[in-house]
Structure 1
Amino acid sequence: MLGSLFGSVCSIDITFDAEQNRKTAALGKDKKGERAYIFTDGEDVMGTAVVSMRPGKKMDHQGIKVELIGQVDMLHDKSQSYDFFSICKDLEPPGSLYESKQYKWKFGAVDKQNETYSGINVRLRYFVRLVVLRSYAVNITKEVDMIVQNVYPPPELNNNIKMEVGIEDCLHIEFEYDKSKYHMKDVIIGKVYFLLVRIKIKHMELNIIRRESTGTGAAGQQTDNETLTKSHTMDGAPVKDQCIPVRLYLTGFDLTPTYKNVQNKFSVRYFLNLVLVDEEDRRYFKQQEVFLWRKKIG
């Protein structure tokens, strides 16, 4: 990893001290490119900072520090970025550096309740920043990201979902899902009962929709819906009193936990969207919100 350069006087770098078996995850929404170590709420975060001086050079500074920061970024309006969490440790008091130095740093039992998130309009990130403060020049900085993922036990209450929907004298169905809260590697199991069918149904699909909401107030709020999957659960016309089973495996989809009003900046909710398509390609649908959570596997 290359350090941040300040002319030819010095370079700086900062890394995490992570055990060999610590897992990593992709930083970007596309799940490609740079990866970062995964940490959980309450874990220590520690590492090494290096300031490398060019031989024979001197650098005056106003102190060297390391910061651990939690930040919400509005991706299309950088002025709305917000640091909701910040801890700072001084590594070196003001003075002059004549030779390279290495520093060990540690933030103990860090509160990290909000998970890392990378969405359409908003990003929540945690990172460590090394800063060399300069009085008459630009500060020298280097940032390295980490990822926070938190696991939870199964919820004590997890009721099934049962609803009716219909069009008068044309269509009447009941649908049922086994739970209202699912972990991110779970299986959605359900049934759809056709009590009245007087339209020519071509197929039925079950969609997972992610709804990201940012901002506050009617004027400032922005909502984006993203369809993560379209799963055909039935092809062909159903008949009266037919029951169609539903089974949808969540493994492999780009899911996150449900986020409820994180730092008063954004929310992420998930919906199951049951869609019927007739022979004229008209679509009849019913949405039902479900709660997603991260379960410890193994």
Structure 2
Amino acid sequence: LELYYDRGNHHEFVSLVKDLARPGEFTQSQTFDFEFTHVEKPYESYTGQNVKLRYFLRATVSRRLNDVVKEMDIVVHTLSTYPELNSSIKMEVGIEDCLHIEFEYNKSKYHLKDVIVGKIYFLLVRIKIKHMEIDIIKRETTGTGPNVYHENDTIAKYEIMDGAPVRGESIPIRLFLAGYELTPTMRDINKKFSVRYYLNLVLIDEEERRYFKQQEVVLWRKGDIVRKSMSHQAAIASQ
């Protein structure tokens, strides 16, 4: 695990070593078999603005003057099952005597290929709104204590409305996540960094004033492929 502001200090959370050959000379090409069994892979691979978490194989040939080193990265995905508790999100936002809207999202936890479905209700409109959108914000937090860094990245902008709404109007939302580069939500990884996602509802009036309301959602990587594969293997074994 490498923090870009702390280059040179790599934090290892998994390290396994195997000796493949005794001291001697190589006079021709040789192949060495190796195996690491039951390797713990607690976190998902991740490359962000200020941090990189990687798994890799490193082959080292030790020599007197300088070693020969070759590395190969391995991508690790953490698969999850469907959350049992997945309540909808319903919130109100407004400016006293000027604007009152209610928005609702169908879930609070979405897998990376999911669809965000929701509605915006306009209960009171006394300002001239010309534009409304939903943004997906990715917030990467690194460091601890006084040395905490926050990096916000707008992953997606989804236009809900272009023009003035009226009181009582209801606008549907349908945002497909599969088209965006997203990762699962990552919390306090190795006590070094976190990655969180937010839905940011943005309204812009005719005087270019911006009103917004943010709501965190949890993203997770679906593990259905693994379960289907395992059930298929079990079916073959039972035949």
Identity of aligned residues (%): 56
1:102 is paired with a residue whose SS is coil
Query: Helix, strand or coil: the match of 2:90?
Result: strand
> Which structure's residues are more often strand, by fraction?
1
Asked if 1:129 is matched to 2:53, the reply is no
Q: Output the CA distance in 2 between the equivalents of 1:172 and 1:180.
A: 22
SS in 1 for 2:31: strand
Aligned pair count? 225
Stretches of structure 1 lacking an aligned partner (at least 5 in a row): 1-71
- 1:23-51 C-alpha deviation (Å, 9 max, x unpaired): xxxxxxxxxxxxxxxxxxxxxxxxxxxxx
Q: Report whether the alignment pairs 1:173 with 2:96.
A: no
Matched ranges for 1:16-31 at <5 A:
none
Residue 156 of structure 1: aligned partner: 84
- Provide the residue aligned with 2:147 in structure 1: 220
Give the counterpart of 1:235 among 162, 177, 182: 162
Partner secondary structure for residue 19 of structure 2:
strand
Per the alignment, in what secondary structure is the counterpart of residue 271 of structure 1? strand
Contact 2:81-2:224 within 8 A present in 1 as well: no
Distance 1:274 1:155 in 2: 25
User: In structure 1, what is the Cα distance between the partners aligned to 2:210 and 2:166?
Assistant: 18
Unaligned runs of 5+ in 2: 226-239
Quick check: 268-277 or 74-83, which moved more?
74-83
Tell me what 2:232 maps to: none
- Inter-partner Cα distance in structure 1 for 2:220 and 2:38: 23
Q: Within 2, Cα distance between the matches of 1:251 and 1:100?
A: 45
Measured in 2, the distance between the counterparts of 1:91 and 1:81 equals 25
Which of 166, 170, 174 does residue 247 from structure 1 map onto? 174
| TM-score normalized with structure 1 length | 0.73
TM-score, scaled relative to structure 2:
0.90
More helix by share: 2
Residue in 1 aligned with 2:127? 199
CA displacement at 1:76 relative to structure 2: 3.8
CA contact (8 A) 2:187 2:195 kept: yes
Shift, 1:297, TM fit: 5.4
Q: Deviations over 1:59-118 (max 9, x none)?
A: xxxxxxxxxxxxx11124313321111011110123333433210111112221201101
Deviating runs (4+, > 4 A) in structure 1? none
Matched, 1:113 2:42: yes
2:26 to 97, 102, 107: 97
CA distance in 1, matches of 2:9, 2:205: 45
Higher relative contact order (CA 8 A, sep 6+): 2
Distance in 2 (CA, whole Å) between partners of 1:249 and 1:131 is 45
Please tell me whether residue 276 in structure 1 is matched to residue 199 in structure 2.
no
**One-letter amino acid of the counterpart of residue 74, structure 1:** L
Contact conserved, 2:200 with 2:212, CA < 8 A, in 1?
Answer: yes
Given the alignment of the two structures, is residue 83 of structure 1 paired with residue 12 of structure 2, yes or no? yes
State the shift of 1:138 in Å. Answer: 1.8
What is the alpha-carbon distance in structure 1 between the residues aligned to residue 165 and residue 183 of structure 2?
Answer: 34
For residues 184-220 of structure 1, give each alpha carbon's deviation from its aligned partner in whole angstroms, at most 9, with x where no partner exists: 0000001111111111000110000000000001x20
1:73 aligned onto 2:2: yes
State whether residues 140 and 195 of structure 2, in contact with CA within 8 Å, keep that contact through their aligned partners in structure 1.
yes
Q: Which residue is equivalent to 1:291?
A: 218
Cα RMSD, aligned residues only: 1.3
